[in-house]
């Protein structure tokens, strides 16, 4: 597994658990981000395909599908397969297919706990390095699990420092309470709902909102300009976090997209939907093409013609 090239940086201290050590600052960001202007500039948002959408196919397949169907860019879910964690390999895919990388999803799932090491701050720093190397401007990050006590203790402050020092937007994603029957488990610290914490940038995931039994239309009103990044998907209120295609659940995805278009949202609009039950590659691509059309329609955009 290759890693991003490490430059010489001036040193800045970030909270780290269990042992603090100097952490690097980063060169000026390489992407054409609207970070300073905010996410509601009226510019056309990028329509992005998460590499998770083609699972169990590979990251390489995601770039191929994104290019063929006409997605603007890809979000790399680090750890979905070995290729996704190999920055040099992802760069070759990006260059070969001519598809941008818009964002990096840091390896913070249960199944990616050992990807890029076991130290959570190191994972986020490597995510920023990968974003720089690939021309992305955003890192999506989940709040810590409750057993990551040291990481959770300084999480809000640490995310603020990474936003200030790396030149990359770290957008904290809304999660949901875990349920077993009538019981509710507190699996995230400082909390699964980022609304009440001092995060500068947020990622709204419609499936997570559904599992939390919230409405995404209410969240976009509540978050305002803190909403930087959107995971378009859907759910029916299940604790399983279904990641349905937009329009198949209870989140009024059409109205969410229309409301954001009316407000001039220019952040990334990322399809992050589950196609594991697709019966074939053709069936998977048909669903992903339909989702792309759905997104363009409700954002009021003209859909591109597929290339093949």
Report if residue 11 sits inside a domain: no
Q: What is the pLDDT of residue 286?
A: 98
Give the model's pLDDT for residue 109.
84
What total number of domains does the chain contain?
A: 1
Nearest to 42 by CA among 300, 216, 293: 300
pLDDT at 30: 39
For position 35, what pLDDT does the model report? 52
| pLDDT of 308 | 66
User: Does any domain span residue 21?
Assistant: no
Q: Dump pLDDT digits (tens) for 285-304.
A: 999 999 999 999 999 998 77
CA dihedral 78, 132, 67, 260 (to 10 degrees): 90
Is 37 a member of any domain?
no
Asked, for residue 227, whether it belongs to a domain, the answer is yes
| Low-confidence residues in the chain, pLDDT < 50 | 1-34
Question: 111 lies in which domain range?
Answer: 43-299
Residue 170's alpha-carbon distances to 3, 35, 227, 244, in angstroms, are 20, 11, 12, 25
In this predicted model, what pLDDT tens digit does every residue of 9-31 receive, in sequence order?
A: 222 334 443 334 444 444 444 34
* 280-288: Cβ within 8 A, 24+ apart: 281/57, 284/54, 284/57, 284/65, 285/65, 285/68, 285/69, 287/245, 288/49, 288/53, 288/54, 288/65, 288/69
6 in any annotated domain: no
Q: What is the pLDDT of residue 33?
A: 45
pLDDT on residue 110: 82
On whether residue 105 sits in a domain, the answer given is yes
Question: What was the pLDDT predicted at 14?
Answer: 40
The CATH number of the domain holding residue 153 is: 3.20.20.150
Residue 206: both structure tokens together: 């419609």
Query: Which helix (H) or strand (E) element contains residue 253?
Result: helix 253-262
């Amino acid at each position: 597994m290759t890693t991003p090239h490490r430059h010489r940086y001036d040193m800045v201290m970030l909270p780290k658990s269990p042992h603090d050590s100097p952490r690097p600052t980063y060169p000026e960001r390489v992407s054409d981000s609207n970070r300073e202007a905010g996410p509601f500039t009226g510019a056309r948002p990028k329509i992005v395909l998460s590499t998770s959408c083609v699972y169990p196919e590979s990251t390489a397949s995601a770039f191929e599908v994104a290019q063929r169907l006409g997605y603007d860019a890809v979000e790399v879910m680090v750890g979905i397969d070995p290729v996704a964690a190999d920055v040099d390999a992802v760069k070759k895919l990006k260059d070969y297919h001519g598809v941008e990388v818009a964002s990096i999803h840091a390896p913070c799932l249960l199944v990616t706990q050992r990807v890029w090491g076991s130290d959570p701050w190191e994972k986020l720093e490597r995510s920023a390095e990968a974003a720089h190397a690939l021309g992305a401007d955003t890192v999506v990050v989940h709040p810590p699990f409750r057993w990551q006590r040291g990481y959770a203790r300084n999480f809000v402050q640490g995310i603020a420092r990474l936003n200030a020092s790396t030149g990359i937007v770290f957008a904290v994603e809304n999660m949901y309470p875990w349920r077993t029957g009538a019981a509710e488990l507190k699996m995230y610290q400082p909390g699964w709902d980022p609304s009440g914490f001092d995060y500068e940038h947020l990622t709204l995931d419609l499936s997570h909102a559904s599992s939390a039994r919230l409405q995404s239309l209410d969240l976009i009103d509540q978050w305002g300009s803190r909403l930087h990044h959107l995971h378009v998907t859907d759910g029916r209120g299940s604790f399983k976090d279904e990641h349905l295609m937009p329009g198949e659940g209870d989140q009024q995805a059409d109205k969410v997209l229309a409301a954001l278009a009316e407000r001039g949202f220019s952040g990334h609009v990322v399809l992050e939907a589950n196609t594991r039950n697709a019966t074939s590659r053709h069936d998977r691509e048909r669903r992903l093409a339909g989702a792309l059309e759905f997104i363009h329609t409700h954002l009021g955009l003209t859909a591109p013609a597929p290339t093949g």
